[in-house]
């Protein structure tokens, strides 16, 4: 198995929605599009997806979703 396959299996088995970078809030990926940067990052950790209607996320960047530490 590749690192990507191992990480995806772990995330799905533990009901996480994807990964997020603890040093960069705008960097996250869902399990369906894991590691689009094509490399594992030591600052990425498992997280839960929160969706925002009308692009009203708390970061102010107009995002439709974020992945973070807690399920909101």
65 with 52: CB under 8 angstroms? yes
Domain locations along the chain: 3-68
Pairing of strands 18-21, 44-51: antiparallel
The pLDDT value given to residue 71: 82
Using CA atoms, how far apart are residues 23 and 4, in angstroms rounded to an integer? 20
Using CA atoms, how far apart are residues 68 and 53, in angstroms rounded to an integer? 17
Give the tens place of pLDDT for each residue, 17-53. 999 999 987 789 999 999 998 887 899 999 999 998 8
pLDDT exceeds cutoff 90 at 60: no
Coil, strand or helix: which one is 2? coil
Give the contacts of 62 (CB within 8 A, at least 6 positions apart).
Answer: 55
The pLDDT value given to residue 40: 79
């Amino acid at each position: 198995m590749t690192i990507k396959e191992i990480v995806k299996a772990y995330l799905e088995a533990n009901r996480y929605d994807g990964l997020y970078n603890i040093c960069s809030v705008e960097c996250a990926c869902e399990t369906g599009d894991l590691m689009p940067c094509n490399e594992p990052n030591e600052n990425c950790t498992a997280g839960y997806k929160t969706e925002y209607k009308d692009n009203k996320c708390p970061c102010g960047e107009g995002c439709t979703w974020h992945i973070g530490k807690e399920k909101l």
